[in-house]
Amino acid sequence: MKRKYYPIHSDFAPLAKLNPPLNRAVLPAMQKSMSALWNLEKSGDGVTVTKLQIPLDKKKSMRAILYSPEGSSGKLPCLVYYHGGGFVFNAAPYHFLNAREYCRGAKCHVLFVDYRLAPRHKFPAALDDAFRAYRWTQMNSEELNIDFKRIAVGGDSAGGSLAASVCQMARDYGAAVPCGQLLVYPCTDVRMKTDSVKRFNDTPMCNSRDMAKYIKLYIPNLAHLPMEERVYASPAEALSLKGLPSAYVETAEFDCLHDEGLEYAGRLEDFGVNVTVHETKGTIHGYDFMSKSPIVWESMQKRIAFLCRIFKIDGK
């Protein structure tokens, strides 16, 4: 299929024809290959790396990395972070780089979560892992030198969906809600009904055709999910967003998820939530891939500024 022309910024030209393969036959091999990146994470550049195991049950556990500012002491805030990848791909190199940037820039711990992936592990496996990691961080905050009152959640794309849903689950289940939610080009609405979904069916990195495949791999029984479960797969469908924490919502211009990100931000504001919106221009979904782009750098500074505000770093 011939792609339509989009005035994408030249910084992202190397991604102009890239869309991840979503063939069930190749996904296991890709997951295994990408999983190995985990082993490359080492302490350095002002960040201390600690590999952890979060218990899932008596026999199973989930990998996590705790990034900490080098030489830090006392209790620090913590960002529990969920990487993107359509619920089917492991963390990419830029996800690990971003975790380090958040750690250094916001002077905080970052708990980077290796949640289970579709299609082998279908909904709600990833969300169960995400919520468990958040609650585990709370319950082990003393041992981890984390300030219990300054734990936020964040994620990009599919990870943004998990972060938004964790906030709702914490509220609904009577747990202490995060102090903030960092949502970078998040997937918030599986109904796929927005104008940007209809317009961007051939954009690079992720488009509406890709999203339909991701959703089918992650939630094959979507049509039969009872609403009390569906709202956590599709956080925009929640009847109430009251009582949720301050949010940062970032969107990409040529992204099928663009409109649902803005709509979710608007609904949060309607329920009295303080929201910071950053609409990037000339961008495509997953533009963080080009980590040296000035556009990415500017976005990173805005994300870090949000974290500093909710963590009350340096009086911000």
| pLDDT tens digits, one per residue of 258-283 | 999 999 999 999 999 999 999 999 99
Give the model's pLDDT for residue 73.
Answer: 87
- Report H helices in 106-157: 125-139
Looking at the domain assignment, is residue 5 inside a domain? Answer: no
Question: In total, how many domains does the chain have?
Answer: 1
Token pair listed for 105 = 């820039």
pLDDT at residue number 315: 52
Instruction: Give the pLDDT confidence of 118-139 residue by residue, as tens digits.
Output: 999 999 999 999 999 999 999 9
264 within some domain? yes
SS3 77: strand
- Which is the catalytic residue, given 68, 157, 165, 208? 157
Cα 155 from Cα 83, distance rounded (Å): 6
Task: Say if 140 falls within a structural domain.
Answer: yes
The candidate with the shortest Cα–Cα distance to 158, out of 130, 120, 195, is 130
How far is the C-alpha of 50 from the C-alpha of 65, rounded, in Å? 6
Query: Strands 275-279 and 247-251, how do they pair?
Result: parallel
pLDDT in tens, 34-62: 999 999 999 999 999 999 999 988 789 99
Query: Is 309 inside a domain boundary?
Result: yes
189 is catalytic: no
Pairing assessment for the beta strands 109-113 and 61-69 based on DSSP bridges: antiparallel
Active site residue: 68, 210, 285, 299, which one?
285
Residue 240 annotated among the catalytic residues of the structure: no
pLDDT value for 57: 81
Res 313: pLDDT: 79
57 labelled catalytic: no
Whether residue 251 contacts residue 258, with contact meaning beta carbons closer than 8 Å, is answered with yes
- Among 255, 288, 293, 299, the active-site one is 255
Mean pLDDT score of the chain, rounded to an integer?
96
Domain for residue 23, yes or no? no
Please check whether residue 212 lies inside any domain of the structure. Answer: yes
**Residue 86 domain boundaries:** 43-315
What CATH number is associated with residue 82? 3.40.50.1820
